[in-house]
Amino acid sequence: MGTFKEHLDLANERFDSAERLFGEGLEHTAAHLFVNAVVNYHNAACLKFLGRLPGHKQHSDVSYFKEIAKFIGEEYPPYKAAYEFLMSHKSQVDYDVGLSLSSAEQIRRRARKVREIIEPLL
C-alpha cells in the first residue's frame, strides 16, 4: 500500500467495521479494528505530511512525532495522547482474550478522537 489515500480508505473501512462490531457486542474484535484503524490514519498522515511512512519498528515509538506536530496544530497534544494510549493497548487487543468492556469503550473513545482530529486534515 503506497498512497495516503489507500491508508485513509483502509482506516475508514476498519473504523466503520469496528463501530458495527462494537454495536453487535463484539467489543474485543472492535477494539482490535479501532487500534489498527488508528495505525492506518497515522500512516496516511505521515505519507501526506512527511511524504514517508514512519521509519520505526514499534508503533509505540513517537520520537518522530514532532515532525507532524506542525501539520496537526493545536490538536497535536490530544492526538498524541490518544495515539499513545491506543498503542499501549495494541498487544492486548492483538493477542489477549480478556479485554474488559471498560477498556474497549476507552479504546473506542480515543480512536474516535484520533479520527476526529486527523480525518479533516487528510
Q: Collapse the DSSP code of 58 into the 3-class scheme (helix H, G, I; strand E, B; otherwise coil) and give the result.
A: coil
Of the candidate ranges 5-19, 33-47, 50-64, 77-91, the one whose mean pLDDT is the lowest: 50-64
CB 81 within 8 A of CB 105: no
As a whole number, mean pLDDT of residues 43-54 equals 88
Q: Is 31's pLDDT higher than 70? A: yes
Going along the chain from its start, the domains and CATH numbers come out as 4-121 (1.20.120)
Q: Within 13 Å, how many C-alpha atoms sit on residue 63's CB side?
A: 5
pLDDT band at 106 (very low <50, low <70, confident <90, very high): very high
Q: Within 13 Å, how many C-alpha atoms sit on residue 6's CB side?
A: 5
Residue 110, Cβ density class (10 Å: 0-12 exposed, 13-18 middle, ≥19 buried): buried
Share of the chain above pLDDT 70, in %: 92
pLDDT given for residue 56 in this prediction = 58
Read off the pLDDT of residues 110-120 as tens digits, 9 standing for 90 and up: 999 999 999 99
Distance CA 112, CA 96 (A): 22
Distance CA 106, CA 31 (A): 9
pLDDT given for residue 1 in this prediction = 57
pLDDT given for residue 92 in this prediction = 85
As a whole number, mean pLDDT of residues 47-69 equals 76
Amino acid identity for residue 3 in this structure = T
pLDDT, greater one: 61 or 109:
109
